[in-house]
């Protein structure tokens, strides 16, 4: 069986690094279909994507990574599985085949897990460890890196785990819901990359949203 796997790149103000990501995806031995969801960027994100000849869907105004991913999943509904990876170069495309291989081997959700190295800023190291431990507890199985957006989702899992998250908390919500429903979760180790990219994660807007989502997941009734 060979799964049809597409790549979905949510992109916001990502013109500086998107080109290298798309180039590396195109250079894979078996290049995937690629969709870039440009979330109201005011820089050349959409133009860069078009230059590389990939499919582009643009929002008129910024709505958040969660909205961009949900729109992308819908546009790619004919594929068996979707790999999501960031536009800022933190998710090396050379790992893409490892995600596809884990799905071929039977995983429904494949989570990229970053090795925690000194390259990760100290506050991020703490936040990632803390949120991953909490997610593992409420998911009922080990989730080593709950915040990493480099993932593969099988179509059946996307259908079975409706989410309402609109920004970064979408990743947390879907992993916990999928694990609770008994979907097979696998992990693929990926390098930890911190370069000159700028994070758009806002401590005042996004951290409360992520914590709020984990609280909701902790206290809501579980599926039986
Ligand atoms: N579509 C969309 N993508 C976003 C938004 N914010 C960030 N992204 C993308 O999501 C990915 C991760 O965002 P980033 O800010 O680098 O988060 P971090 O790496 O976790 O600090 C990158 O590919 C961004 O371009 C957004 O509001 N909408
Ligand atoms: Mg980033």
Q: Read out DSSP for 69-94?
A: HHHHHHHTTTSSEEEE--TTS-S-GG
Query: How close is the Cα of 222 to the center of ligand 2, in Å?
Result: 32
**Ligand 1 lined by 124 (C-beta under 6 Å):** no
Instruction: Give the pLDDT of the chain (224 residues) as one tens digit per residue.
Output: 699 999 999 999 999 999 999 999 999 999 999 999 999 999 999 999 999 999 999 999 999 999 999 999 999 999 999 999 999 999 999 999 999 999 999 999 999 999 888 889 999 999 999 999 999 999 999 999 999 999 999 999 999 999 987 899 899 999 999 999 999 999 999 999 999 999 999 999 999 999 999 999 999 988 76
Q: Is 19 exposed, middle or buried (0-12, 13-18, 19+ CB in 10 A)?
A: middle
Taking CA atoms only, the protein residue closest to ligand 1 atom 11 is 86
Top mutation candidate among 12, 19, 93, 125 for ligand 1, by most atoms within 8 Å of CB: 12
For the full predicted model, state whether its pTM sits above 0.85: yes
Q: For the sheet containing 185-190, what is the strand order?
A: 55-59, 34-39, 5-11, 81-84, 151-154, 109-114, 185-190
Q: Could you tell me the residue ranges of all domains in the chain? A: 5-219
Q: Is 56 in the pocket of ligand 1 (CB under 6 A)?
A: no
CATH number of 5-219: 3.90.550.10
């Amino acid at each position: 069986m060979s799964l049809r796997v597409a790549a979905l790149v949510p992109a916001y103000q990502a013109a500086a690094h998107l080109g290298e990501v798309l180039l590396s995806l195109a250079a894979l031995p078996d290049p995937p279909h690629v969709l870039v969801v440009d979330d109201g960027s005011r820089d050349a994100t959409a133009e860069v994507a078009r230059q590389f000849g990939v499919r582009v869907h643009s929002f008129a105004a910024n709505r958040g990574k969660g909205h961009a991913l949900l729109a992308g999943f819908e546009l790619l509904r004919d594929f068996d599985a979707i790999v999501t990876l960031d536009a800022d170069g933190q998710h090396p495309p050379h790992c893409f085949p490892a995600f596809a291989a884990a799905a071929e081997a039977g995983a429904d959700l494949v989570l990229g897990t970053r090795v925690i190295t000194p390259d990760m800023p100290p506050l991020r190291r703490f936040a990632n460890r803390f949120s991953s431990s909490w997610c593992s507890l409420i998911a009922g199985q080990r989730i080593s890196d709950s915040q990493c957006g480099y993932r593969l989702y099988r179509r059946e899992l996307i259908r079975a785990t409706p989410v309402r998250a609109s920004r970064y908390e979408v990743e947390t919500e879907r992993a916990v819901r999928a694990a609770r429903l008994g979907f097979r979760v696998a992990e693929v180790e990926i390098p930890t990359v911190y370069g000159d990219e700028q994070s758009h994660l806002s401590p005042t807007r996004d951290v409360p949203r992520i914590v709020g989502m984990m609280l909701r997941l902790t206290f809501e009734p579980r599926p039986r």
